[in-house]
Amino acid sequence: MLDIRYIRENPQKAQELLNLRSNSQEYDLVPILELDQQQKELESTRTELQRRSNEIGKLVPQKIKQGENVDQLKQEGNKIKQEINDLEPKEKELKTSIEQLLLTLPNFPSNSTPVGKDEQENVEIKRWGDEFIKSQQVLPHWEIGEKLGILEFEKAVKVAKSRFVALFGAGAALERALISLMLDRHIAAGYTEVMPPILINSESMQGTGQLPKFAAEGFNCPQDDLWLAPTAEVPVTNLYRDEILDLAQLPIYHCAYTPCFRREAGSHGKDTRGLIRLHQFNKIELVKIVSPQTSEKEHQKLLQDAEAILQILKLPYRVIELCTGDLGFGAAKCYDIEVYLPNAGKYREISSCSNFGDFQARRANIRYKESGQKGTNYVHTLNGSGLAVGRTMAAILENYQQIDGKVQVPEALQPYLKREFL
């Protein structure tokens, strides 16, 4: 959530920053500024009424001591108290309205985020593993998976609906091996593993920015006010909601495996086959809670930690820095890692590594306190996929496909799978 004080004091600059985003026409600050002005006027009125009420409270006993009639003063005091009582719900209503509007606004882009209108103006900053790219034509991952008997889409449709998959034999083992490899590597890099709840409440979804904007993307259990986790970012970050941390506790690094659930609203006709865009998928998430002073450095390290998995698996990829027009709702700065899929001859997103600044921390009320200091400050939150497991499997099935139809198991995974080929 954006800081209302910044918007109040820098309305033109705030509007300019929001205008750098796609769909910028949605983000009009005028209604918020008008409500904020009304709230300030009410607050000023209440402050003046309270001052007069306090003054009367002191005058009454003085007048009584002097033998003067205080009936008029008491009447005025009672009237003022009633006016103050009448103002409180109006102030509360205005505050709620302002907060609801603020919740719909995206984060400001960071100063170092490239300015651009859409994904066409994203900036490629790195490629890795060009020497591993296959020159020969290979089958798409869903075809080789079905031929090997390890992916079943039709049976999954029978059990659920389209955009679900069932894994069999070596397919299930490969998914499990990837999860174990990723967690082992991230734990070795200093992350503490968390296994969070997968059903999460609306307050948590609001805390990390999924609500109210992305309600249509989520699977909801309205009877219990619970949502199926769209990503482990949500439950893991919200483990610290409404907490004041000591600066000495920072940085906090967590990694978590969870199944993730998304409706993929608005993606009709996109990636309808295969493992790229499913309603249910497994993912390892990296979450950092850090001080503002180390935020940028921690973001670069987060990106490296996610890249390391692709390097271990020897899967070619590139890193894209998203421009202002393509940033996710809560991100101030974001790098996408895209793995190469040889059948399509394209790079496809496998991780987004985002720095949210204090955007999520304001929504979830996560603060820190320095020893010896009076006040508190908001932490910065960061997260990224480390990695999306199904997309990693798709990349392995295509990049490690052999001429005879088998798929070689990446060397790093062989100790987990106890086999060299699928």
Tell me the C-alpha distance between 410 and 310, whole Å. 11
In one-letter notation, the amino acid at residue 5 is R
Residue of 204, 295, 352, 354 marked active site: 352
Tell me the C-alpha distance between 290 and 247, whole Å. 9
Tell me the C-alpha distance between 296 and 300, whole Å. 7
Tell me the C-alpha distance between 83 and 105, whole Å. 34
349 is an active site residue: yes
Residue 106 near residue 330, CB atoms below 8 Å: yes
Torsion of CA 64, 70, 73, 75, to 10 degrees: 130
110 is an active site residue: no
- The alpha carbons of the chain give a radius of gyration, in whole angstroms, of 27
367 is an active site residue: no
Q: Which residue has the tokens 């499990």?
A: 176
52 is an active site residue: no
352 is an active site residue: yes
Residue of 91, 146, 296, 349 marked active site: 349
Residue of 21, 163, 185, 262 marked active site: 262
In one-letter notation, the amino acid at residue 405 is G
- Catalytic positions, please? 262, 277, 349, 352, 391
